[in-house]
A and B are shown apart, each in its own frame.
Chain A
Amino acid sequence: DAGVIQSPRHEVTEMGQEVTLRCKPISGHNSLFWYRQTMMRGLELLIYFNNNVPIDDSGMPEDRFSAKMPNASFSTLKIQPSEPRDSAVYFCASRRRETNEKLFFGSGTQLSVL
């Protein structure tokens, strides 16, 4: 299995621009999570989906952030407009809902907003 696939690996953009991060979970996994990692705050949960349905988005920092999961094999996290304080590593992770255990992370997207 290829694991959780995220793209792009690195994104450099200017303040005010729209940013879209992409994630392909492991086939057969029906729970998907978006986390953000910074030095100051560690790993923060932004939003998670079960069976493509958003369950809890209380971690999304502002209305500038939105996430979708149109099907079981694809999810996006969008920031519009982006700001320098959004600079972080964004991780997507997936697991089988029934196990409530091992979470598989992608390699992350390093976002820099100038």
Chain B
Amino acid sequence: QQQVKQSPQSLIVQKGGISIINCAYENTAFDYFPWYQQFPGKGPALLIAIRPDVSEKKEGRFTISFNKSAKQFSLHIMDSQPGDSATYFCAASISGNTPLVFGKGTRLSVIA
């Protein structure tokens, strides 16, 4: 059973456009929702994270939107740049040192 479902699998966005990646989760006990960014040949690295006490978190061009009732959260990349081209993973976990459960990833390509 996949606990975190991510879509789309791949995404092509024009430079300057908005990239949107969505995730849905099943376990209502999850209380930590990070996004990881992975460049080719590298391991994933934490990009931004949110907890369910807020509905939105913004860091620069990256924003997480969180909808607790729908059990969904999304990553928005504003003014997308070619350097943002990477694979993005959403994840979820329960506080108390439980492991992160990852979505399957979205390969983003930003074209000029």
Contact = CB atoms under 8 A, between A and B. Distances in A.
B31 to A, nearest CB: 10
A43 B102 CA distance: 6
A73 interface: no
Interface stretch (B37-45, B52-60, B75-83): B37-45
Q: Which 10 A-B pairs have the closest CB atoms?
A: A105-B43, A42-B104, A43-B102, A102-B46, A97-B97, A100-B97, A45-B99, A42-B105, A105-B44, A91-B43
B26 to A, nearest CB: 16
Given A4-B43, A91-B44, A105-B45, 17 more contacts: A41-B104, A42-B103, A43-B102, A45-B100, A100-B93, A100-B95, A100-B97, A100-B98, A101-B49, A102-B34, A102-B46, A103-B46, A103-B100, A105-B43, A107-B42, A108-B42, A108-B43
Interface residues of A, number: 23
Contacts of B6: 42
